[in-house]
Amino acid sequence: MLDIAVFAAATIAVLLLLAYFQAPILVWTVAAGLMLATWLSAFDFSMITNFSVAALFVLIGAVLNINLLRRKIVSDHVLALFRRILPDMSQTEKEAIDAGTVWWDADLFSGKPDWNRMLAIPAPGLSAEEQAFLDGPCEEVCGMTNDWEVTHERYDLPPQVWQYVKDKGFLGMIIPKQYGGLGFSAMGHSAVVMKLATRSNALAVTVMVPNSLGPAELLLHYGTDEQKNHYLPRLAKGLEVPCFALTSPEAGSDAASIPDYGVVCKGMFQGKEVLGMKVTWDKRYITLGPVATLLGLAFRLYDPAHLLGGKEDLGITCALVPTNHPGVNIGRRHLPLNAVFQNGPNSGKDVFMPIDWIIGGKDYAGKGWMMLMGCLAAGRSISLPTSSVGGAKGLARMTGAYARVRSQFKTPIGKLEGVEEALGRIAANCYMMEAVRVMTAGAVDLGEKPAVISAIAKYHMTERVRKIVDDAMDIHGGKGICLGPNNWVGRGYQVIPVGITVEGANILTRTLIIFGQGAIRCHPYVLREMRAAKEMQGAAASIEFDDAFTSHIGHTLSNGVRAFVHGVTSSRLGQVPRDGAPETRHYYRFSSRLAAAFAFLADVSMLAMGGALKRKEKISGRLGDVLSMLYLISATLKHYEDQGRIKEDLPLIRWAVRDAAYQAQEAIDAILSNFPVKSLATLLRWTIFPLGMSFRPPLDARNHECAKIVLEPGAARDRLTAGMYVGKGESDPTGVLEAAFLATIACEPVDEKLHKAVKKGKIVPQPGVDLGSLGIQYKIITAEENAQWQRKEMLRKNVIKVDDFPQDFGRADIVSKLVQEKTRTENTSTAKAA
Closest CA to 381 of 249, 240, 526, 217: 217
Given 503, 529, 544, 793, the catalytic residue: 503
Closest to 622 in 3D by CA, of 668, 582, 586: 668
Distance of CA 718 to the CA centre of its chain: 23
Q: Using alpha carbons, select from 722, 581, 724, 589 the residue that is nearest to residue 647.
A: 581
- Report helix, strand or coil for 330: strand
Exposed, middle or buried: residue 582 (CB in 10 Å: 0-12, 13-18, 19+)?
A: exposed
Buried b (16+ CB within 10 A) or exposed e, 296-315: bbbbbbbbeeeebeeeeebb
CA-CA distances (angstroms) from residue 831 to 62, 391, 579, 821? Answer: 95, 43, 69, 15
Residues constituting the chain = 834
Q: Would you give the distance in Å from CA 499 to the centre of its chain?
A: 11
Q: What does the buried/exposed string (b/e) look like for 194-214 if buried means 16 or more CB atoms within 10 Å of the residue's CB?
A: bbbbbbbbbbbbbbbbbbbbb
The H-or-E segment that residue 815 falls in is: helix 811-833
CA atoms 458, 464, 468, 474: torsion sign: positive
Look up 503 and say whether it is catalytic.
yes
Residues 192 and 126 sit within 8 Å (Cβ to Cβ): no
Residues linked to residue 104 through DSSP beta bridges, in sequence order: none
Can you count the helices (H) and strands (E) in the chain?
36, 9
3-state secondary structure string, 356-416? HHECCCHHHCCCHHHHHHHHHHHHHHHHHHHHHHHHHHHHHHHHHHHHHHCEECCEEHHHC
Cβ–Cβ under 8 Å, residues 300 and 115: no
Asked whether the beta carbons of 65 and 26 are under 8 A apart, the reply is yes
User: Could you list the active site residues?
Assistant: 503
